[in-house]
């Protein structure tokens, strides 16, 4: 029901909560391990559990055996591309299995901050928060559709083998189950990260807007508390992915390169899986870079809002509260990949330049070979 809540844009049945709190509450119910229901239990099992990790690991071993006994490079291309995708989805399952509590805590914090701000928001603030909630719902719907499309295109590869014997049929069924589990884990984590970061960006902006006005000691203290909570939510998001993040992003870098080479250099028509994985660098890497840059801008703007606030009109305690917010926000939040750096506008430009350079090399090689 969490997905249906997101599609309908509502949180709880009474409908009294604000739009951003509602949409984050729907995410919280979908991810939380304590939410009852057989359907939610099945979804959490596919996201990351001992069962899903065993299925995914068995699927990878099966693909490695296919690569080892393929006999030729041509026959090994498809199993290798499938293995690269399964490897990254295994990282997503490890993230959910080991660090789900970080996601739950980040969602709880952002929901509480959104509730606090929406209670006393003016009409302009409500419009901005409503737009942020709408964007989060659109991202959720987009990646749900993309996940279904990716699952279908991936499953078409083993289904094309046919069912000539019961052994082949069992092999195809196992491969399809492994692919469904892998795709669900990967494309649940990706929109989750994007949506939490976007919610924090919207809330950072509102906290900064309030700190620019003469609001008094009580409101400055409240804004400082909300700002600290958002910082904590981003720390939980960084701890959520941790050292698994580079492995999670591997498929978005490696798979398009392999698929481009397959599409441009193959003598026969490329399969649906190769065609569908060519643009995933624009679906996985680019959105995270843009959201990472937006997060840096919004979190870094809060100390500036404090600096340009009405210092002369406020008392000493209010000025001290503003100074504490400036010190806490001196280092803006960012999306970090351990061992690789930040995901921001500069990283996006560098990745796209490298990607386009590789594309030019493959095109020239294809033309020369012809």
Q: What is the pLDDT of residues 252-263, one digit of tens each?
A: 888 888 888 777
Alpha helices in the chain (DSSP H): 2-8, 19-31, 38-47, 50-68, 73-119, 123-159, 166-211, 216-241, 245-265, 272-277, 280, 286-307, 316-328, 345-369
Residue 126 lies in a domain: yes
Count of domains observed in the chain: 1
The answer to whether residue 198 scores a pLDDT higher than 60 is yes
Q: In 143-177, which positions are buried (b, 16+ CB within 10 angstroms) versus exposed (e)?
A: bbebbeebbebbbebbeeeeeeeeeeeebbeebbb
3-state secondary structure of 336: strand
pLDDT of residue 272: 66
In a domain, 301, yes or no: yes
Task: Give the structural domain span for 89.
Answer: 49-61+77-369
Mean pLDDT of 15-34: 84
pLDDT reading at 195 higher than 90: yes
Residue 200 inside a domain? The answer is yes
Share of the chain above pLDDT 90, in %: 41
Q: Which has more confidence, 79 or 201?
A: 201
**In-domain check, residue 12:** no
Check whether 227 has a pLDDT greater than 70.
Answer: yes
What is the model's pLDDT at position 3? 46
Q: Does pLDDT of 237 surpass 70? A: yes
Are 325 and 303 in contact by the 8 Å Cβ rule? The answer is yes
Q: CA 95 to CA 244: how far, in whole Å?
A: 7
| Whether residue 288 has pLDDT greater than 80 | yes
- Residue pair 227/302 in contact (Cβ under 8 Å)? The answer is yes
Lowest mean pLDDT among 138-142, 204-208, 308-312: 308-312
For residue 278, tell me if it sits in a domain.
Answer: yes
pTM score? 0.88
Would you say residue 55 lies in a domain? yes
Q: Which residue has the higher pLDDT, 319 or 178?
A: 319
Query: What's the DSSP call for residue 284?
Result: I
pLDDT score for 257? 82
Structure token pair of residue 338: 């351990």
Average pLDDT in the chain: 84
Instruction: Tell me, yes or no, whether 330 lies in a domain.
Output: yes
Confidence of residue 187 (pLDDT cuts 50, 70, 90): very high
pLDDT of residue 14: 44
Residue 271 DSSP symbol: P
- Express each pLDDT in 322-358 by its tens digit: 999 999 988 999 999 988 889 999 999 998 888 888 8
The pLDDT, as a whole number, for residue 143 is 93
pLDDT confidence of 268, banded at 50, 70, 90? low
For residue 26, being part of any structural domain is answered with no
Which DSSP symbol is given to 42? H
Tokens of 251: 């498929």
CB contact at 8 A, 294 and 135 = no
């Amino acid at each position: 029901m969490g997905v249906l809540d997101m599609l309908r844009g509502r949180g709880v049945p009474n409908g009294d909560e604000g739009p951003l709190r509602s949409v984050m509450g729907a995410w919280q119910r979908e991810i939380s391990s304590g939410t009852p229901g057989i359907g939610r239990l099945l979804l959490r099992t596919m996201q990351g559990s001992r069962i899903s990790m065993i299925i995914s690991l068995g699927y990878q071993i099966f693909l490695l055996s296919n690569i080892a006994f393929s006999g030729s490079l041509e026959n090994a291309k498809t199993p290798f591309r499938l293995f690269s995708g399964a490897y990254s989805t295994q990282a997503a399952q490890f993230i959910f299995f080991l660090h789900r509590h970080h996601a739950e805590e980040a969602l709880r914090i952002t929901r509480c901050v959104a509730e606090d701000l929406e209670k006393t928001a003016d009409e302009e603030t409500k419009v901005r928060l409503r737009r942020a909630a709408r964007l989060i719902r659109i991202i959720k719907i987009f990646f749900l559709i993309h996940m279904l499309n990716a699952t279908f295109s991936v499953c078409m590869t083993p289904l094309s083998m046919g069912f000539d014997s019961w052994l082949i049929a069992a092999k195809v069924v196992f491969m399809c189950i492994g692919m469904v589990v892998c795709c669900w884990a990967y494309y649940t984590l990706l929109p989750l990260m994007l949506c939490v970061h976007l919610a924090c960006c919207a809330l950072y902006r509102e906290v900064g807007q309030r700190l620019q006005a003469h609001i008094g000691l009580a409101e400055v203290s409240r804004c400082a508390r909300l700002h600290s909570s958002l910082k904590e939510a981003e720390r939980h998001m960084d701890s959520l992915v941790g050292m698994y993040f580079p492995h999670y992003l591997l498929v978005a870098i490696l798979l398009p390169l392999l698929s481009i080479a397959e599409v441009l250099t193959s003598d026969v028509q490329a399969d649906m899986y190769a065609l569908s994985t060519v643009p995933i660098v624009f679906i996985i890497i680019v959105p995270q870079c843009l959201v990472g840059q937006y997060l840096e801008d919004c979190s870094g703007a809060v100390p500036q809002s404090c600096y340009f606030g009405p210092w002369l009109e406020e008392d000493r305690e209010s000025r001290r509260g503003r100074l504490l917010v400036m010190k806490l926000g001196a280092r803006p939040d960012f999306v970090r990949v351990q061992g690789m750096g930040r995901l921001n506008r500069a990283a996006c430009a560098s990745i796209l330049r490298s990607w386009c350079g590789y594309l030019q090399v493959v095109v020239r090689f294809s033309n020369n070979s012809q």
